[in-house]
Amino acid sequence: MSINELIENGLSFQRSGNLESARETFEQVTALEDSNVIAHYSLASIFFNLFAFDKAFYHVERAIKLNDKFGLFYVTRAAIHEHRGNPEAAFFDRLKAAELSSEFDRSKFGNDLLDIVLPRNISVFVNDDVLKDIKKTLEQCENLVVSGKVEDAIYLYRRYIATDAADKYISYFNLGTLYSTIGEDHAAWGCFKAVTQAAPDFLAGYLNMGLVLEKLDLKKNALEVWELGRSRPKPRDAFNEDAYIKILNNLGRLYEIEREYEQSEAALYESLKLDGNQDGPLQHWLHLRQKQCKWPVLTNDAFCQKPLADMASPLAILSLSDDPAVQLACSQRFVRDRVQQYPRRVPTTKRYGHDKIRIGYASSDLSMHAVSLLTVELYELHDRSQFEVHAFCWSPEDGTPFRQRVKSAFDKFHPVGALTDDEIADRIVQNEIDVLVDLQGLSGRARPNIIAQGAAPVQIAYLGYPGTTAMPNVDYVIADDFIFPQSLAKDFSEKPIYLPRVFQVSDSKRQMGPLKEKSDFGIAEDTFVFCCFNNNYKFNEKLFTVWLDIIKNTSNTVLWILEDNRWSKDNLIALAAKNGVAQDRLVFAGRIDPRDYLARFQCADIFLDTYPYNAGTTANDLLWAGLPLLTLSGSTYVSRMAGSLAHCIGLDQLICHSHDEYRKKAIHFANNRHELANIREQLAHHKSALFDMKRIVSEYEDGIKATLKD
């Protein structure tokens, strides 16, 4: 057959859908005549439809080299670029296709993707003098964006990029920022990549490229790009130094999310050495040191020479200070810096007059989280003859059956994660919520600017943040006589709602896994086990040194603690060695399924609580499992949580008020195990007082109803 006959056959095969025969035929043509543009373009189309994009790209490249004046070739290559993950190159090809068509007709190409970046009508006409000055170009582009002519701005940025100007990377940078703003993140990434290639010491390019990659959920790539920016020569001008500090802060933030605590801390430390007046990075840096058990948490650096309340985050302060006035000052500073001041939307005197009290719970933790593990049965047991129960939830979907149980416990479940703070407050007002319970406070993923708007006549802080929030328009906090003594009132912005028995609800339906022996965890059966499965950031050097002293002064004992991360483990082992405690006296426990976690408590002899940040949900769990705890109660709300539970069930002998008393009692129990056995019996006999959920929920509801009568 002649070349022309082969081509006709190939086209016939292609039209009939016989792509394999068409491919073989056109490959025959290119073997005989590699300059045949029809064969190369047809092969590009065939391979594209077979999802063989690399081969498709090869052949469309050959077609364009043979005929660079045919717009359809560029449209095809643009589609291939998209599938190969190169939207920036696709954008150029679409522009080229438009230039080659004297009357640009989309139907001719049949490619709806063109609408993404090619406007139907470009209204801007540019004087060439504008394109000779980057400042004039940027100014005109900014004016176009303000006027809503985004496509015209993109076109003008592109025109400047097409020049030979040495500073066109600035146009690339601004174009990338514009793309990111309108949600074209792949195109933005291409622009910022071009910036770093054209101007490798322009650090803002690395900064913004990393942010775009993170938006695209390419976190490791974002870290790599920021590290590349970090490795450039240290900046000498203010603009690049600001970008460098932001790169360090983003490295610190994302490394922490990825649980690379040491790298996170190092990046933030470098940032703080450059600018010690950064509140956010300083708060994160301090908390990272807590998580790694790097003690002392505060160093001699200049940026640490401030009042503690001005440096720590509200979460970190709970375990850094046992002074309620310091905790209040920290919360007040946070609210002053981070929370807007709103006129209250719904006055405290407003009464909607519903047949049932509409109670709403606001949280990002309505999932497999410590707060929901305590509160799920509360939602289920609310008296539906008196209450209508709403959830305003911005929790992630974790896919667990427990999450479904939580969602099913509400009468009305409002997923509000995609809404703004104002829109969520609108939703609360529209639903005429009588009582809004904030389960978040100042903890992680909190959205305080929802609660601060006062969208309900009564607003209550509960469980999520065990301290004063100092939040405007938060009226009450759930308490009991033990956790909230009268002396605490001056250091709380909220008024206490005193429950007659205990402040904490819990779940009587939780399930325990099969019981195991100590030997299942590598511990000899006759060993006396002190345990603490609290998060490591609740540890501190003073208390840990007391624990080590307990171990040294008892025989055949071990300290069984949570292995939160490898840095905390190494630091705890090193401190033990420094204090003369062998490594084999420390046993580290991993995180396990909640049912197995409850069963694991059976293998310990006594729980050693942390101070000044007591166990909360953990204390509830271990008492449910029948394990006694030794706790140290101070003057703050958070330092009295576990003591409240012990007091509720009549185990006040397990509540200490000094480190020395705590140390002596722990040693005494290890040496007098029969006394501990008696306490276990007492716990088993009286713990129902803590877990009688119907009665506790009824008491909680009485407290809620009383606020509506004030």
**Could you report the per-residue pLDDT of 153-186, keeping only the tens digit for each?**
887 888 888 788 999 999 999 999 999 998 888 8
pLDDT at position 311? 97
One-character DSSP codes across 81-128: HHHTT-HHHHHHHHHHHHHH-SS--HHHHT-TTHHHH--S-------T
Residue by residue, DSSP assigns 45-86 as HHHHHTT-HHHHHHHHHHHHHH-TT-HHHHHHHHHHHHHTT-
How high is the pLDDT of residue 114?
Answer: 32
Stated as kind and residue range, the H or E segment containing 264 is: helix 261-274
Structure tokens, 550:
């307990």
Q: What is the average per-residue pLDDT within 645-660? A: 97
pLDDT tens-digit map of 92-125: 887 777 677 543 343 433 333 333 333 333 444 5
At 221-262, the pLDDT tens digits run 999 999 999 999 988 899 999 999 999 999 999 999 999 999
pLDDT tens-digit map of 185-210: 888 898 999 999 999 999 999 999 99
How confident is the prediction for the chain on average, in pLDDT? 92
| Structure confidence at residue 125 (pLDDT) | 52
Tell me the per-residue pLDDT of 411-463, one tens digit each, with 9 for 90 and over. 999 999 999 999 999 999 999 999 999 999 999 899 999 999 999 999 999 99
Q: What per-residue confidence (pLDDT) applies to 103?
A: 38
- The CA distance from 388 to 355, in Å, is 9
pLDDT recorded at residue 87: 78
pLDDT at 422: 97
Average pLDDT over residues 12-19: 77
- C-alpha–C-alpha distance, residues 19 and 15, integer Å: 9
- Considering 53-57, 238-242, 383-387, the range whose residues carry the highest mean pLDDT is 383-387
Q: What is the reported pLDDT for 157?
A: 87
Helix (H/G/I), strand (E/B), else coil: 565: coil
Q: What is the pLDDT of residues 545-572, one digit of tens each?
A: 999 999 999 999 999 999 999 999 999 9
Name the pLDDT band for 76 (thresholds 50, 70, 90).
Answer: confident
Chain Cα centroid distance, residue 425: 22
- What is the rounded average pLDDT of the residues 610-615? 98
Phi, psi of 672 (to 5 degrees): -135, 70
Question: In terms of residues, how long is the chain?
Answer: 710
Going across the sheet that includes 412-415, the strands are 412-415, 387-393, 357-363, 435-438, 458-461, 476-479, 495-498
- Distance, in Å, from the CA atom of 651 to the CA atom of 202, rounded to the nearest integer, reads 64
Say what percent of the chain tops pLDDT 90: 79
What pLDDT shows up at residue 115?
34
Segment 458-496, tens digit of pLDDT: 999 999 999 999 999 999 999 999 999 999 999 999 999
CB 201 within 8 A of CB 233: yes
Tell me what pLDDT residue 1 has: 79
Cα gap 115→97, rounded to integer Å: 13
**The token pair that represents 374 in the structure block:** 């305590």
For the whole model, what pTM was predicted? 0.80
With a cut of 80, say whether residue 632 has pLDDT above it.
Answer: yes
* Separation CA 545–CA 542 (nearest Å): 5
**pLDDT at position 52:** 86
Q: What are the residue ranges of helices labelled H in 292-358?
A: 308-311, 314-320, 324-338
